[in-house]
Amino acid sequence: MKRIFNDDFINYKFLSGVKYSPDGKNACFVLHEAHMEENCYNSNLWIYKEGEDRYFQLTSNNKEKSFLWLDNETILFEGSRNPKDKEKKEAGEELSRFYRINIYGGEALEAFVIPYKITSFKHIKDSVYLFTATFNPNKKPLHTLHKEDKEKEVRLIKEEKDYEGIDEIPFWSNGEGYTNKNRNRLYMYDSSDEKIIAITDETVDVEDYQIDNNKDKVIITASNFLNKREVKNHLLIWSPSSNAVKRIVSDEAFQYGTGYFISEDTIICTGSDMKEYGLNQNSKFYLININTEEKSCITPKFDISTWNSVGSDCRYGASSTSQINGNLLYFITTEGDSSFLNTIDQEGDIQQISTAKGSIDGFDAYGDKILFIGLREQHLQELYRLDKGTEERITCFNEEPLKGKYVAKPELIRVTTAPGVEMDGWVIKPINFNENIKYPAILNIHGGPKTVYGEVFHHEMQYWASEGYVVFFCNPRGSDGKGNEFADIRGKYGTIDYEDIMKFTDAVLEKCSYIDKEKIGVTGGSYGGFMTNWIIGHTDRFKAAVSQRGISNWTTMFTTSDIGYYFESDQIAATPWKNHDKLWWHSPLKYADKVKTPTLFIHSEEDYRCWWVEAIQMFTALKYHNIESRLYMFRGENHELSRSGKPKHRSRRLKEITDWFNRYLK
């Protein structure tokens, strides 16, 4: 068998955004490919013709990431085919250019230009659309200014680019940069007269919006804040005919998911009061009458997360994970180590309609037909058809990249870590495995912490197996997939989760006698980076460590992270002014003087989730105590480096990690 190499991921294909045509006869999806030379990802639209059971590429400009069906033959997509657009954007002008294309051939024709940086768009009817776009009251929209005023404003933008005024929190957001006063605002646009109407207020930040079947009402999930964003949000109803926005259900503290019209006057949505398990509490399903504002929970005993949290480094692009189809809401859950597709009706009856293990990364349903993008076993993403519980693979994009390559199958190891608590974990064996040889090993810890590892393809772990490593990984307490109680580690970070990981490590070493106990490394990102930092301050059993985008000091995390001030008060159960000693006790930096393990720190300069001051502090502490360590920072990257970072940067990251382990474990 051939080895998997570091850069093999540039040959992988990533799928997203599958959507049926209005008549259900065709579907469109986006195909993404890494381009190493240009250090970017190329994205194009593809069509699947169900009746002919074939699929083909529709666009080739490499910049088409979002689209919608206008009719059964026409697709509207956002693109950038005008060479002057780049120059305008560099001058501070915001615009989104749209094109129409027929799926049966012909060139894409420009449809219209909207003078905003659009984040989403939907078609209401005829020439009328809804869209969300970034709005900031401190920035004048250039398209509303006359020529002289516009030129003056462009000069002012250039003069002010080195300054950033901040007067609210959060003031930055991972992947978005500085966001002070930015709001995702909802607008209505009529392409016939190019008229744009703002729907939501300047202080409202729209999270999602859905249109009813009659196209005369819209349910909006949004938050409204000044100075400090709260965790709670609310629901709004808007009617295109009256242009009136009305808030429904006045909850003091509630976190709503997307709302859908399940009948003319009733919406169904997920929601959490966060009272028992805090921010990470699993949502329940609610029905809300938009006229009486009566809200009722239809799943009082439901304790499953309503999203896909199965981790992989082989995805790119956005996909739908819930939708209304007929009188049912279709949605994804994470259960155990896999994600599944389900339906729920107005009575709260939930039916699981997919049964295969793995990950459903996005889907679309039309009548009895379902298409989904999935990771199955150790295969990369493909498009699948789901018919009455039976899955059929449609595409073969990723057969060639892994053909003849060694792909290790994860071997399940279950460990009882506490009375009544069972944890799942896996081991993958190295290439050309020989049970008489002693192998070095790498413990890999997932982020979150409320996510899961499963038996899906991970490029980095398969690469390490091809490099001759045993790789083992697990879902300790704090992980998703096993209900609220299992996932709840508020105020316990570094205690029961650490104990679970160490017990799993013990079980792996006991079962896998082919592992060299003197040559084990540990790594992880985000929460996994925190846990790596914690581990090296509490045990010397690992001979090398790589901490990625992790947390070292909860006090600085509180005041610098885009989620710090509300995440920590909930998850650590303390603030810098309330039980500060607890923040410090749970901080890996407190134990840095105990570290003996050579450690590499990987961090991104624009990671505003775990700002790179976290890595600087831990690195400095280790250097101060004369422990071999190195800090490797990536410019132009954020918290998503390992998953959607620029191709050259992803390759360099994996090289630095592997070189570090090779240095100390081989």
Q: For residue range 16-59, what is the model confidence (pLDDT) as tens digits?
A: 999 999 999 999 999 999 999 999 999 999 999 998 999 999 99
Digit-coded pLDDT (tens) for 167-190: 999 999 999 999 999 999 999 999
How sure is the predictor about 351, in pLDDT bands with cuts at 50, 70 and 90? Answer: very high
How sure is the predictor about 261, in pLDDT bands with cuts at 50, 70 and 90? Answer: very high
pLDDT, residue 22, reads 97
Given a cut of 90, whether residue 90 has pLDDT beyond it is: no
- Is residue 99 in a domain? no
- Is residue 622 in a domain? yes
Q: What's the rounded mean pLDDT across residues 598-624?
A: 97
Q: Can you tell me whether residue 661 is helix, strand or coil?
A: helix
Q: Can you tell me whether residue 10 is helix, strand or coil?
A: helix
Q: What is the CA radius of gyration of the chain?
A: 25
What secondary structure letter does DSSP report for 408?
P
How sure is the predictor about 80, in pLDDT bands with cuts at 50, 70 and 90? Answer: confident
pLDDT, residue 562, reads 97
Given a cut of 90, whether residue 655 has pLDDT beyond it is: yes
pLDDT, residue 375, reads 98
pLDDT, residue 84, reads 80
- For residue 386, what are the CA distances in angstroms to 133, 314, 455? 35, 22, 20
SS3 content of the chain, % helix, strand, coil (to 5): 20, 35, 40
pLDDT, residue 486, reads 98
What secondary structure letter does DSSP report for 9?
G
- Helix (DSSP H) and strand (DSSP E) numbers for the chain: 13, 38
250-279: buried (b, 16+ CB within 10 Å) or exposed (e) per residue? eeeebbbbbbbbbeeeebbbbbbebeebbb
pLDDT, residue 422, reads 97
Rounded Cα distance between 625 and 532, Å, is: 18
Which segment of 249-263, 441-455, 511-525 scores lowest on mean pLDDT?
A: 249-263
End-to-end Cα separation, the chain, in angstroms: 22
Contact in structure between 452 and 309 (CB atoms under 8 Å): yes
Q: What's the rounded mean pLDDT across residues 420-428?
A: 97
Given a cut of 80, whether residue 268 has pLDDT beyond it is: yes
How sure is the predictor about 241, in pLDDT bands with cuts at 50, 70 and 90? Answer: confident
Given a cut of 80, whether residue 601 has pLDDT beyond it is: yes
Contact in structure between 449 and 311 (CB atoms under 8 Å): no
* HSE-CB of 172 using CA atoms within 13 angstroms: 17
Contact in structure between 100 and 108 (CB atoms under 8 Å): yes
| 3-state per-residue secondary structure call for 526-545 | CHHHHHHHHHHCCCCCCCEE
Hey, what amino acid is at 652?
A: R
- Is residue 451 in a domain? yes
Given a cut of 90, whether residue 152 has pLDDT beyond it is: no
pLDDT, residue 105, reads 83
How sure is the predictor about 151, in pLDDT bands with cuts at 50, 70 and 90? Answer: confident
Quote the domain boundaries for residue 638.
410-665
Q: Name the packing angle between helices 527-536 and 496-511 (round to 10°).
A: 80
pLDDT, residue 160, reads 86
- Is residue 84 in a domain? no
pLDDT, residue 240, reads 85
Contact in structure between 591 and 538 (CB atoms under 8 Å): yes
- Is residue 498 in a domain? yes
User: Cis ω on the peptide bond leading into residue 170 (within 30° of 0)?
Assistant: yes
Q: What's the rounded mean pLDDT across residues 370-387?
A: 97
Closest Cα partner for 314 from 487, 461, 457? 457
Give the domain CATH number at 511. 3.40.50.1820
What percentage of the chain has pLDDT greater than the value 90?
91
Q: What's the rounded mean pLDDT across residues 523-551?
A: 98
What secondary structure letter does DSSP report for 410?
P
- Is residue 355 in a domain? no
Which segment of 166-170, 247-251, 335-339, 385-389 scores lowest on mean pLDDT?
A: 247-251
What percentage of the chain has pLDDT greater than the value 70?
100
- Is residue 5 in a domain? no
- Strand 40-49 with 54-57, pairing: antiparallel
Q: Can you tell me whether residue 398 is helix, strand or coil?
A: coil
Q: What's the rounded mean pLDDT across residues 81-97?
A: 81
pLDDT, residue 89, reads 76
pLDDT, residue 273, reads 96
Rounded Cα distance between 348 and 282, Å, is: 16
Q: What's the rounded mean pLDDT across residues 578-582?
A: 96
Q: Which two tokens stand for residue 542?
A: 């690992």
Mean pLDDT of the chain: 96
pLDDT, residue 410, reads 98
Q: Is 348 left (phi over 0), alpha (psi -120 to 50) or beta?
A: left
How many CB atoms sit inside 10 A of residue 387's CB?
10
- Is residue 243 in a domain? no
Q: What is the pTM of this model?
A: 0.96
How sure is the predictor about 270, in pLDDT bands with cuts at 50, 70 and 90? Answer: very high
Q: What's the rounded mean pLDDT across residues 381-393?
A: 95
Domains: count for the chain: 1
